[in-house]
Structure 1
Amino acid sequence: MGGVSSSATEFRAGFACFVGRPNVGKSTLMNALVGSKVAITSTKPQTTRRAIRGIVNRPDAQLVVVDTPGLHRPRTLLGERLDSLVLSTLTEVDVIGFCLPADEAIGKGDRFIAEKLAAVKKTPVIAIVTKCDLAGRERVAEQLLAVSRLGEFAEIIPVSAAAGEQLDVLARELIARLPVSPPLYPGGELTDEPEQVLVGELIREAALEGVRDELPHSIAVVVEEMAPREGRDDLLDVYAQMFVERPSQKAIVIGPKGARLKDVGSRARAQIEALLGTHVYLDLRVKVAKDWQRDPKQLRRLGFYD
């Protein structure tokens, strides 16, 4: 403990990332830490497509959180691209948060990730037991013990993003492992993602709500144009295309007489207005891009680069 008091006055800044199998609460946790909705969250697995950065600004530190897609055994070209994005991210951060939910038994996917993390020698790993509000105290204690057997971790911290429990402890432990450095992002920004990317993600989140089939893997959104309406500074025009893989999926997204698409548009618009603080006109179209997840050319066009 000797070095803590001397470093307490020094400003720290650096990068952390969360990894975990799909749908273990990584995006929700990042949003709770940052205090603003910057990564999309959904009850559907595999919704996060990009390493979205959220920035936690504190008087003594700046923690830049990179939210990665869920690490999983890839089945498609998109899956391979997502996994290589995760693994390259792990080598570029100062600390890794390995997320495992309290309310689910440790499975093959968690062990697969633990093996990958064991190979990342130089970066400290904090195991984060998420969703503790969904499990009783006894179950949380069992999970903490099970996690400790998975590998060597710098810390194991139980949290609940939904209830706001232990977030300060987690932030403190993450920040303690950052280098002494001036702020990396000035001006109190919450994210360094271009606004168009965030807007596209909000549209995608609205489209995923309530859909019960294969759609999560099959929707991509491209914001073609985003600009203030001529002669008005209180209205932003947003033109976006939603891409699916098959005509049957297009029919699901549009819904009977266009009702579902209208609902998606109004929910997405409300979120975009909250994010940007202005009135928004949203023009949302749906197109079929056949098997885009397996086509390198289409993946590039939709923003998933090599």
Structure 2
Amino acid sequence: MKKYILTSIISSITMLSACSNESNSLESEENTEELIVATSSGDISEKEFNRALRDQHGENVLQSMVLDKIIESEAKRLEIGDTEIEEEINFLKDNIGATNDEQFFEMMKMQGISGEDDLNKRVINHLVMQHHIGDIGEVNDVELLKEYERGEEVEARHILVEDLEKAEEVHLKLADGVDFGELAQEYSIDPASREDGGHIGSFRRGTMSPPFEGTAFYLDVNEVSEPVQSQFGFHIIEVLNRTPFEDDFEEVKEQLRSAYNDRKLHRMNEKQQELLETVDIEVFDEQFEDLFEQ
């Protein structure tokens, strides 16, 4: 199990936006001596370079930096201190195979982690997410066997709408006995399945968006879900059939673990977004003033 926990830590601490490494480059522009960053057919000044970084990556960097502050605040609220952070880093050092700090940070650099401060920041994020959703990889054989028993494939149909209000309206009509296929043709915004009454055929784990898949595999045959949100909108899902695995549990256990962890990574992203939405964010820079508007 330790190797999965170790993989979990490395995965989750590298989930922060890659642009967080760029934030160190977006420093305030100097109005004194103009420094030259590069020269070819003409000079590229530090001011020009910083402006290009700001225009091309500024939104991602600012969003990442704001999230960092929110995570730090949440860590304080949860009373995550230096001891927990040090224990997590020591766990990595002991288990990643590094013989000294220099080798350890070289290995971390290969994971996209720039140094000690960057590692601390990502470990804090990992500990906060671990508190809210549990540890990625921390799934035992009993839970995986439950996944196995839900089958290799499910056949389903869905109704996809743009917002929760419309999804709840459709769900109420289904509860009143209105035909699923008719409602799919009337309301669904999925052009690939709408005319076929929402039917999307059979699918295996790892082929659909995590929230859709996580719901579909846990519905019973002929059971209809509550509205489920994905990046496409809000789905109402009905499972029509279920196909059991032909392979033995031990042969597909790691496949099941991978699908389980994909859903947890998605939940981690959702939780980060929830934390962003719980605080008031005021942006004073006109270029980015609409960045956090809902």
The structure having more radius of gyration, on CA atoms, is 2
State the TM bucket, normalised to the shorter chain: under 0.3
TM-score of the superposition, structure 2-length normalised? 0.26
TM-score of the superposition, structure 1-length normalised? 0.25
Relative to total residues, which structure has the larger strand share, 1 or 2? Answer: 1
Relative to total residues, which structure has the larger helix share, 1 or 2? Answer: 2
